[in-house]
A and B are shown apart, each in its own frame.
Chain A
Amino acid sequence: MTSILFRNVRLIDPAAGVDRPGDLLVADRHIVACGDALAPPDGTDIIDGRGRVLAPGLVDAGVFRADIEACIAGGITTIVLMPDQSPPLDDPALIERAERLGKPRLWVRPLAAATRGLRGRELAELGLMQEAGAVAVATGRAAIADSGVMLRMLRYAAGLGLVVVSHAEDPGLVVGAVATEGEYATRLGLAAASAAAEAIQIARDLRLAREAGARLHFAAVTTAEGVALVRAARAAGQDVTAATTPEAFLLNETALAGYRSFARLSPPLRLEADRLAVRKGLADGSIEMIGSRHDPRTVEDKRQPFSDAAPGAAGAAILLPLSLSLVHDGVISLLRLLQLVSSQPASRFDLPVGSLAAGAPADLVLLSPDAPWRIAAETLPGLAGNTPFDGLPVQGRVDMLLKGGERL
C-alpha cells in the first residue's frame, strides 16, 4: 500500500472553503491528513509541489460520453453522465452498466432517463434506477414538452428525493433551429430560435417544480433572462441549481461566422448580452456549476454544412483552463472556481468527493493555474477534438492526477 506526501503545495479545499499552503498525506486510497510539516511514514513517495495548487479532482456534471482519456487530461475524476446514451439509460441494468464504464480510472455516476427512451411520454423506472446507482433524473438533450408528464415526473422524483436535471429549451420554439435569433443568424441565413426559448422553459419548469415540491437543476443556463429567473427563484428559497458551460461565458454568436460546425452547440451560442449575464451569474453565485457537456463527435458528424452537422463540443480536456480564464479575468477567485467544478456538483448530486477532508477519496489534481499553452483541436486528448476553442491561448495545466490514490 503506497502512501504519498505532497509537500509545499497550495491546498485548496473547495468544500471547506480553505485556500492555504501546506502538506497533504495520502494513504490507502484516501486522504489521511492536511497540515503543516506532516511526518511521512516509511516508504512514502514524497512529491515537492513547488507551490503549485493541490485540489480535489474535478467533477464534471452533465457529460454525454464517458471519455476517460479526455477526463484524465482535464483533471476530472468523476463525471455525471447524461442519459442520452445508445440505448438511453432508462433501465436499471443500463445504469449498472454505465456505472462500470470508467473504472478504475474514472468514476461514472449516471443520470436516469426521466422517461422511457427519453421520448417524454411514459415515466421510466426511476426508483429501480435509483437503487441501481442513478444519482439523479434527467430529461436529456431536450425538454419534456408535455407539462402534464413533466409535473408527474417531478412529483414522482420528489417522492424519491431525486434531483431532476432539466434541459432548458422550449421544444416548440427550437424546432429546426441551429442558432439563436440575432444579427449573425440572419446574416448567415441560419434557422434560428429566440433566446426566450430558454427563459420560457425555465419559467415553466420552476413553476412545475414548485407545484411538485421537486428539487430542480438546469443542465445549461446560457441566457440573460434564464440567469435572472434562476437568481430570483433561488432568492425566493426554491431548491434549484443551474450549471453553465465555458462556451456560454466565453463565446457569442460571432463565433458562427464562417459556418464552423464546431460552433454548432446545444443550446446554441447566444448574444453578447447573454454572455455577460452568465459571467455575472457566475460571479454572484446564481450559477453554481460549470460543466463541459462533453460531447465528442466524429469527423463524419461534424464535417458537414453547419445546419447538417451534429450539435455539441468536446470539452472535458479543456474545462479547467477555459474556466480558469474567469479567475485570470478577476471574475471569481480560484477557490470559488474549484467549488464550481468540484464541490458544488458533488454536493448537488450527493457524491462523496470534492473535498480534502481526512477520509475523503484521494482524487486529487496538482495543477499550475498560470501555465500558458494553446488549445489545438487536432491533438485534443480523448475521443474527438470538436471544440470551438481551437487555437485559443489559455492558462492552466494539469500536472498530476490521482484517482483513489493512484497516479494516472
Chain B
Amino acid sequence: MAVTIPAGANPYPHPHLLAIEGMKPWEIAALLDEAEQWVEPGRRARKLDDRLSGLTQINAFFEASTRTLLSFEIAGKRMGADVVNLSAGVSSLKKGETLLDTALTLNAMRPDVLVIRHESSGAVALIASKVDCPVLNAGDGRHEHPTQALLDALTIRRRKGGLAGLRVAICGDILHSRVARSNFHLLAAMGAEVRAVAPPTLMPPHIAALGALPFTDMAAGIEGADVVMMLRLQLERMDGAYVPSTREYFRTFGLTQERLQAAKPDVLVMHPGPMNRGVEIDTEVADDIQRSAITEQVEMGVAVRMACLDVLTRRRRGA
C-alpha cells in the first residue's frame, strides 16, 4: 500500500501535533519524508541549518525526561532556534500554580513553538487550547507520544523499506504506555499488522478498537513478526500489583534470543528506552547489532523532531 500525498494539498494542515489518532496516512508519510531529509545532515560534522533562527522554542517538561528532552533540544538547536528548557523540578507548579496559569505565563513569553510533556492524559491538548503558538506533544500521561511513533516508523521504514504488510508485535506494559497507543494508531493507519502482547494485568480492554490484536502469550504474539518492539516496564507507575516480580516478568515476557526464534529471521528489535536490561529485554538481544535498532531509533528521533519543528513553524516563518 503506497501512500500518495494528494496533489496540491498541504501535507500537514494542523496547527499542533498532539496525537497520531486522526492523522491521515499521507500526513504521516509526509512527516516521515520530511524527517528522512534530516538524517544525512545529522551525520555531518557541521550540522547547523538556520531556518529556525530567531525563533524561540520552549521545552516545558512537567514530567521527568532525559532523552526526549535532549532530542528536542538538539533538534531545535540544529535548526538555529533559541531553545529554552523548563523542567518539573524548577517549575512553579511545585509552588502551587495551576497548569493553565503556567501555560498562560509561557504564552506571554511569546514562544514560537512549545514542546510539552505532562503526566496527565489530555493535559497537552488542554494547554494547546490556551496558547497562540504551535504545540508539540512530547508525551501526555498514558495517552500519546506522537514523535516516538513517528521515529519508530522512520526506523522501520528505513530498515524494511516500508510499513504496509509488516507484522509488528508491541510487547510489555501496554496499559501504561503512550508509546504503544501512538504506535497502534500509526502502524494501523499505514497498513501494518499490529499485535499487542502483554500480561492480562497490563493489557487495557478494547485494544482491538485501536487496531491491535491482543495476545497474552509472548511466543504466540511474536510468531512470524517482522518487528518486535519492547516497552519499558514502568515500575514508577505501578501503584498496585500488576506483576509479581521483575524476575517472573523476565521469565514470561522478557525478550531473549531463544524466544526471538519464533519471529522472522530478519526480525528488527526495537525499544523506546530507557531499557531495563534483564527485565523486559536480555542484554544479548539489546546489543545484537544485526537485529537491534535501538540506537538507530534515538538517531531517528532527532531527525523526526527536526521535521516536526520545521513543519509546524512554517506558517509563522512564512515559509
A interface list, Cβ under 8 A from B: 175-176, 181-183, 185-192, 258-259, 300, 303-308
Residues B199-236 near A (CB distance < 8 A): 204-207, 209-210
B207 pairs with A189, CB closer than 8 A: no
Q: Does B21 contact A (CB under 8 A)?
A: yes
Residue numbers in A under 8 Å from B118 (CB-CB):
305
Q: A304 to B118: give the CA distance in the assembly, Å.
A: 12
B182: nearest chain-A partner, CB-CB: A189
B204: nearest chain-A partner, CB-CB: A186
Q: Does B167 contact A (CB under 8 A)?
A: no
A306 pairs with B120, CB closer than 8 A: yes
Q: Does B99 contact A (CB under 8 A)?
A: yes
Query: Among the listed A181, A189, A304, A307, which residue makes an inter-chain contact with B181, where contact means beta carbons less than 8 Å apart?
Result: A189
B239 pairs with A176, CB closer than 8 A: yes
Q: A189 to B98: give the CA distance in the assembly, Å.
A: 22
A187 pairs with B100, CB closer than 8 A: no
B121 pairs with A305, CB closer than 8 A: yes
Residue numbers in A under 8 Å from B207 (CB-CB):
186
Residue numbers in A under 8 Å from B78 (CB-CB):
none
Q: Does B305 contact A (CB under 8 A)?
A: no
Residues B10-51 near A (CB distance < 8 A): 21
B206: nearest chain-A partner, CB-CB: A183
Known A176-B239, A182-B206, A305-B120: A189·B178 in contact at CB below 8 Å = yes
A305 pairs with B99, CB closer than 8 A: yes
Between A and B, 14 residue pairs with Cβ closer than 8 Å are A176-B240, A181-B205, A182-B206, A183-B209, A186-B206, A189-B141, A189-B142, A190-B141, A259-B121, A300-B98, A304-B120, A306-B121, A307-B120, A308-B99
Most interface-central of B122, B142, B239 (chain A CB within 10 A) = B122
B120 pairs with A308, CB closer than 8 A: yes
Residue numbers in B under 8 Å from A306 (CB-CB):
120-122
B interface list, Cβ under 8 A from A: 21, 98-100, 118, 120-123, 125-126, 140-144, 178, 181, 204-207, 209-210, 239-240
Residue numbers in B under 8 Å from A307 (CB-CB):
120-122, 141
Nearest Cβ on chain A to B10's Cβ, whole angstroms = 24
Residue numbers in A under 8 Å from B144 (CB-CB):
189
Nearest Cβ on chain A to B275's Cβ, whole angstroms = 22
Known A306-B120, A307-B121: A187·B210 in contact at CB below 8 Å = yes
A189 pairs with B121, CB closer than 8 A: yes
Residue numbers in B under 8 Å from A300 (CB-CB):
98
Q: A189 to B175: give the CA distance in the assembly, Å.
A: 8
B208: nearest chain-A partner, CB-CB: A183
Nearest Cβ on chain A to B130's Cβ, whole angstroms = 10
Known: A176-B240, A259-B125, A304-B98. 16 other contacts (CB 8 A): A176-B239, A181-B204, A181-B206, A186-B205, A186-B206, A186-B209, A187-B209, A189-B121, A189-B143, A258-B125, A300-B98, A305-B99, A305-B120, A305-B123, A305-B126, A306-B120
Q: A22 to B309: give the CA distance in the assembly, Å.
A: 72
Query: Among the listed A181, A186, A191, A259, which residue makes an inter-chain contact with B122, where contact means beta carbons less than 8 Å apart?
Result: A259
Residue numbers in A under 8 Å from B178 (CB-CB):
189
Residue numbers in A under 8 Å from B240 (CB-CB):
175-176
Q: A189 to B204: give the CA distance in the assembly, Å.
A: 9
A305 pairs with B122, CB closer than 8 A: yes
B124: nearest chain-A partner, CB-CB: A305
Q: A303 to B126: give the CA distance in the assembly, Å.
A: 9
Nearest Cβ on chain B to A342's Cβ, whole angstroms = 39
Q: A393 to B32: give the CA distance in the assembly, Å.
A: 44
A187 pairs with B126, CB closer than 8 A: no
Residue numbers in B under 8 Å from A183 (CB-CB):
206, 209
Q: A186 to B176: give the CA distance in the assembly, Å.
A: 10
Residue numbers in A under 8 Å from B181 (CB-CB):
187, 189
A186 pairs with B210, CB closer than 8 A: yes
Closest 5 CB pairs of A and B: A259-B122, A189-B142, A305-B120, A189-B143, A305-B123
Known A259-B126, A300-B98: A190·B142 in contact at CB below 8 Å = yes
A182 pairs with B21, CB closer than 8 A: no
Residue numbers in A under 8 Å from B205 (CB-CB):
181-182, 186
Most interface-central of A182, A185, A188, A307 (chain B CB within 10 A) = A188
